[in-house]
Structure 1
Amino acid sequence: MKRLISLVVAILVAVAGLALWSAHLQKSQGATGDNTLNLYNWGDYIDPALITKFEKQTGYHVNYETFDSNEAMYTKIKQGGTDYDLTVPSEYMIEKMKKANMLIPLDKSKLTGLKNMSPDVMDRSFDPGNRYSIPYFWGTLGIIYNDKFVHAGEIQHWNDLWKPQYHDNIMLVDSARDILGFSLVSLGKSMNTTDAPTLQAAKGKLDELAPNVKAVVADEIKMYMAENEAAIAVDWSGEAADMMAENAHLHYVVPSEGSNLWFDNLVIPKTAKHFKAIYAFLNFMMTPKNAAQNAEYVGYSTPNQAALKLLPKAVQNDQQFYPSEAIIRRSEVYQDLDPAVVGMYNDLFLEFKMYRK
């Protein structure tokens, strides 16, 4: 009898274990309950306290998964087998997802916070009329410099990076479009060029920059700059904000001749199932108080003009992260280029990285 009881107990334990594992697996892949929201976002791109607040306020449970590139996000959703309700692509990827019929149009009758958005971030070429997307954060590509090594005013333009005094002292973010992009701007060309000879010229100019380049890195660039490992870096505005929070000697400049102006927007992929939760979350994130809290946590520029008014005056007036209209007009939004052209950008950038070694 004891053996039988032991066997029954063992079976019950095994069944319970399987149930727990099944629940864990369901959570990791995105639960399907009506009270669920499956959010697919960039890493560290929302204040976790806001997720907790949303869950307590609405009763919905948020499954949060992250990606590290637009391309990785696109591929995972395109391949199927996911239940994501919301994701956060950049502007050119929104164009690509629209072309691939991967997005669901917004039901604006269910949105209460669009009036809070700045007109400057709405109705952009990648989504006319914001049929599919709601601005989440925006920013620029620019130059970070350390005043221990670089005097104020020495770095104002992209061409300043080629000065010989910065030998082995510049870090570049590992991004083909951005690095070839600023080289194109330095030549007076478009960051969206598809012309092969023009791209070759931009790559040739990057080769001339190679002696000044200490490293081409990804997220580590923030740590290196915070620890005074280089005088200069080229990176995005939000990354610059993180660096500057760690090191008061760091400053951010958007060259006056222009740069990349980027937008990350919330969209509803065709994998979405939990529409009540989706619209509850979108309205929650467009509430000025919540948007302001998120901007303070993430460090990127908020598109929510009502939220901006809640941020400190020093932030509102900071042209490092809220640049002048003149600079914005001269900056470009990346377009979704033909795959062959994207391949050309990637190949040329890879050649540059190999050359500098």
Structure 2
Amino acid sequence: MDLNELLAQGRNRRSLLQAMGVAAIGISFGGLAACSKGEGKKLANGEEAKLNFYNWDTYIGETTLDDFKGATGVEVKMDLFDSNDVLFAKFKAGNPGYDVIVPSNDFVERMALADMLQTLDHAQIPNLKNIDPTFIDVDYDKGRKFSMPYTWLSLGIGYRKSKVKTKPDSWKVLFDSPEYAGRISWLSEAGDMFRLYGKYLGKSVNALTPADIATIEAMMIKQKPNVKNFHVDDGQDLLLKGDVDLVLEYNGDIAQAMTEDDDIDFIVPKEGSQLNSDNLCIPKGAPHPKNAHAFINYMLDAEVDKKITETILFPTPNAAAKALMPDSYKNNPVIFPPADVLAKCEYAKFNPELQRLFEEAFTRVRAA
């Protein structure tokens, strides 16, 4: 079975969520095999049968939450965010009531340093055994003290083949050229934008200086008139609708769009790019920490993650789930870029001082 057949089995991930609403989705389930259904009922672990989940848009399987309800009876409410900056800002004044969140690698580090994350009890997450060992002892969270890996991903250019003169194999087309004026879309996340501009200038994403940031800010302001918008985690939708012809976006998002429109393609520019890894974490003050551990363990189950991966089409760090996927997924160069491409890509590290400069400069760019 190939990717198109997988998606043809039901509504694709976007239509599923769009049918429910795009701003904030609340999905509620009740019941427990071992106890009565209903609001406020207690589980055997002493907690209410509830879980509050804060996730990215289009980043869950079509039946995952329903299936979790069937397995545990826990009622899940899922709200959506569209950038790590929004996620971090939400928790600045304390946990507003969430049990599980999905920050990217550098924000796991940032939130841990800010004492926003609860230490995980690995004894309650036995499905950790399913994770590829290379994703366990990571620089941003040694030994997985605060996070469990959900996906990994690469940033690149999604584009409409019929609208470009040549394959857009350089960041130049998005960052430093009027060639596609009014037909390009940028990310709305400060750190990612500055680090990728750094790649275009031949620098490591982790080696930018305040002088580099000033240079990039000026370049962004110069290029901004050619940019249609700063998208909010929906660049692939802009591409599908024909609102733009080129978009800075994640590989999994474009891989899914490619199954809906064969005029769409994706490329990691020749200068290299940034890799991200999104993670499942329990924020400090989570009202249902035992349910949160159970939910994370459930998400790491091989069959569960296989169903999620079939829907979202991002690279999974779950080796047991990946083994269950078809070759059309495992051998897809958009989802899993070749080794020579990955060799020019890097994970971003959190730098408090640079992050402040990124955000201040990006605010000025957006206001310019």
TM-score range, shorter chain: 0.7 to 0.9
CA deviation string 1:130-150 (max 9, x = no partner): 121100111011001211122
Q: What is residue 323 of structure 1 aligned with on the other side?
A: 337
Is the deviation greater in 227-236 or in 310-319? 227-236
CA contact (8 A) 1:260 1:333 kept: yes
Q: Which runs of 5+ in 2 are unaligned?
A: 1-37
- Note the C-alpha offset of 1:48: 4.4
Q: Does 1:259 align with 2:259?
A: no
| Counterpart residue type for residue 170 of structure 2 | H
Residues 160 and 78 (structure 1), Cα distance of their counterparts in 2 relative to 1, 3 Å cut: closer
What percentage of aligned pairs have identical amino acids? 30
Residue 86 and residue 254 in structure 1: after superposition, are their counterparts in 2 closer, same or farther (change >3 A)? same
Aligned pair 1:137/2:151, yes or no?
yes
Q: Please, which runs of 5 or more residues in structure 1 have no aligned partner? A: 1-23
Q: What's the counterpart of residue 274 of structure 1?
A: 288
Q: Deviations over 1:237-262 (max 9, x none)?
A: 23323432432211011124321111
Q: Which structure 2 residues correspond to residues 2-13 of structure 1 after superposition, within 5 A?
A: none
Q: Which residue of 2 aligns with 1:21?
A: none
- State yes or no: 1:156 paired with 2:169: yes
Contact 1:144–1:252 (Cα < 8 Å) also in 2: yes
TM score, norm. by length of structure 2: 0.79
- Match of 1:347? 360
1:72-221 alignment, distance < 5 Å: 72-80=86-94, 82-150=96-164, 154-161=167-174, 162=176, 165-210=179-224, 212-219=226-233, 221=235
- Read off the aligned partner of 2:340 and give its amino acid letter: A
Deviation at 1:163, TM superposition (A): 5.2
Task: Say if 2:70 is the partner of 1:56.
Answer: yes
Q: Deviations over 1:20-51 (max 9, x none)?
A: xxxx9989xxxx94333232222332124111
C-alpha spacing 1:107/1:351, structure 2 compared with 1 (3 Å): closer
- 1:54 is displaced (CA, Å) by 1.0
Matching residue's letter, 1:321? I
Aligned residue identity for 2:167: E
Q: How many residues align?
A: 326
The separation in 1 between residues aligned to 2:287 and 2:178, in whole angstroms, is: 56
Measured against aligned partners, the alpha-carbon deviations of 1:88-147 in whole angstroms (never above 9, x if no partner) come to 111111112211222222222232222221233332211011121100111011001211
Q: State which structure, 1 or 2, has the greater radius of gyration over its C-alpha atoms.
A: 1
**Could you say which structure has the higher helix fraction?**
1
Distance in 1 (CA, whole Å) between partners of 2:98 and 2:178 is: 49
Following superposition, the deviation at residue 290 of structure 1 comes to 0.8
Of 118-127 and 346-355, deviating more is 346-355
Retained in 2: the 8 A contact 1:180–1:206?
no
Matched, 1:239 2:253: yes
Aligned residue for 1:289? Answer: 303
In 2: Cα distance, 1:235 partner to 1:351 partner:
22
Q: Once the 2 structures are TM-superposed, how far is the Cα of residue 159 of structure 1 from its aligned partner?
A: 3.1
1:34 aligns with 2:57: no
Supply the distance in 2 between the matched residues of 1:264 and 1:335 (Cα, whole angstroms). Answer: 14
The question of whether the paired residues in 2 share the 8 Å contact of 1:193 and 1:199 is answered with no
Cα root mean square deviation, aligned: 2.8
Q: Does the aligned pair in 2 maintain the 1:183–1:203 contact within 8 Å?
A: no
Residue pair 1:141, 1:178 contacting (<8 A) in 2 also? no
Aligned mates of 1:206, 1:80 — CA distance in 2: 33
Partners of 2:307 and 2:270 in 1: how far apart? 30
Partner of 1:248: helix, strand, or coil?
A: coil
The 3 A distance-change label for structure 1 pair 353 and 107 is: closer
TM-score for both structures, normalised by structure 1:
0.81
- What letter is aligned with 1:147? K
